[in-house]
Amino acid sequence: QQPVQSPQAVILREGEDAVINCSSSKALYSVHWYRQKHGEAPVFLMILLKGGEQKGHDKISASFNEKKQQSSLYLTASQLSYSGTYFCGTEVNTDKLIFGTGTRLQVFP
């Protein structure tokens, strides 16, 4: 039931782009995205509900394809502050948010 994230790790230079994928074997009601820096709590980035919408703020956006049970997080022109571990959370049954194992992103100057 745990969603699968890929890749497990990404190394970037500042200004480069990255895509993180999240897929589930079950039908999804919503997908959440969070970023966690080392030793800190996860921080909410965005949520996507059924409807195949795309959202974004600043240079981080996400899409949700409910037919394929997949979501992707797009980070463009990455900054040093983007470093951290990204988690997707999927909701397949009312009120249970199940997280993937995370994608570690490192951005270097």
18 contacts 5 by C-beta, under 8 angstroms:
no
28 contacts 22 by C-beta, under 8 angstroms:
no
107 contacts 13 by C-beta, under 8 angstroms:
yes
What phi and psi, each to the nearest 5 degrees, are found at residue 35? -125, 135
The contact mask relative to other proteins for 19-38 (x = CB under 8 A, - = no) is ----------xx-x-x----
Does residue number 81 form part of the binding site for other proteins (CB under 8 A)?
no
The contact mask relative to other proteins for 35-74 (x = CB under 8 A, - = no) is -----xxxxxxxx-x-------------------------
The binding site for other proteins (CB under 8 A) comprises 1-2, 29-30, 32, 34, 40-47, 49, 87, 89, 91, 94-102
